[in-house]
Amino acid sequence: MTQHGNHGAHGTHGSLKSYVIGFILSIVLTIIPLVIVTEQMLEKTATILTIMAIAVLQFVIQLYFFMHIKEGEKPRYNVHALILGLVIVVTIVAGSLWIMMFNKY
Amino acid sequence: MEMTKQHDHDHDHGHEELEQLKILGFWIFVVTDCILFGTLFATYAVMIHSYAGGPTPKELFELPGIVASTFILLTSSFTSGLAVLAMNKKKVNEMIGWLAVTGLLGLAFVGLEIHEFSNLAHEGATIATSGYWSAFFTLVGTHGLHVSIGLFWMVALIIQLKRRGITTVTHRKITNFSLYWHFLDIVWIFLFTVVYLMGVM
């Protein structure tokens, strides 16, 4: 009820349900990589790829269930800014690793 | 009479739009903070094998404490969300309660991190030991500093809520704070994965 009264005026809506779902999924996605690493279930490269993929998945889940990224008014300038930021981050990290590969003498 | 009412409404609406704009502004700050952490992660990734003959993370990391910190920070991210829900229901006491829980969990997280850092220093890994440990302490320490600053901010917000209650201004401030707190948990997901899980492999 109150949620309806608030519409448009505030940044975050969200419901208890969305926070609980996000919390449970985050717990599961923290335990899975932990078990993979401590039990040494996969070989090294496969482990790195799997746990990075799970971290990205948890990032998306928290963005959606905790930060309610999809619930703004359009145009969603926040999403535009975030995408730009992520492009810069990926460029810095991947670019640094790439260029420094040529520096191993 | 109708006219003034209409005018008041427009005025109110304008005020709320300004607060909305300030939330977007804060969000842009969070994105730039994300880039800051990106540069620190890049440095860490480049320095990952630069031990200079000193201790390696595999020898020194103690995963149980790190796992505890991870769940503490994740839970505090969740409880800060519950504070926002209480705010939307206009329940100021419930809201302050959840903020206090969030703050205590954040304090526990910072305490564990200080304990971890002093153990590492005791074992001979300081910020001056090697390229690896410089990058490690800068990256993890910057995150810990963010959490610590967040704790002071939260105390200030609780005081404001006690004095003024939920207004458009405190509403905006809490919204920004919860964005910041969720963001810190997201950074920690990557710290946990890249630094600690890959560190003990």
- Gyration radius of chain A over CA positions: 19
Angstrom CA distances, B128 to B24, B137, B194, stand at 39, 10, 21
Which residue of B lies nearest to A88 if distances are taken between CA atoms? B35
Residues B171, A10: C-beta atoms closer than 8 Å: yes
Flag residues of chain A having pLDDT under 50: 1-12
B3: CB partners within 8 A, 6+ apart: none
Annotate A55-67 with b (16+ C-beta within 10 A) or e (fewer). beebbebbbbbbb
What are the residue ranges spanned by the domains of chain A?
1-73, 74-105
Give the model confidence (pLDDT) of B2-31 as tens digits: 444 455 555 666 788 899 899 999 999 999
Give the model confidence (pLDDT) of B43-99 as tens digits: 999 999 999 999 999 999 999 999 999 999 999 999 999 999 999 999 999 999 999
Say how many domains are in chain B: 1
Specify the pTM.
0.90
In 3D, which of B86, B143, B135 has the Cα closest to residue B112?
B143
Q: Which of residues 55-94 of A touch B (CB under 8 A)?
A: 55, 58-59, 62-63, 66-67, 77-78, 81-82, 84-86, 88-90, 92-93
Q: What percent of chain B has pLDDT over 90?
A: 90
Question: Which chain B residues have a beta carbon less than 8 Å from that of A55?
Answer: 189-190, 192-194
pLDDT of residue A10: 44
- Domain carrying residue B186: 2-200
Give the model confidence (pLDDT) of B143-180 as tens digits: 999 999 999 999 999 999 999 999 999 999 999 999 99
Question: Which chain B residues have a beta carbon less than 8 Å from that of A51?
Answer: 193, 197-198
Residues A11, B20: C-beta atoms closer than 8 Å: yes
Question: Which chain B residues have a beta carbon less than 8 Å from that of A59?
Answer: 186, 189-190
Kindly provide the ipTM of the predicted complex, given to two decimals.
0.89
CATH code of residue B86: 1.20.120.80
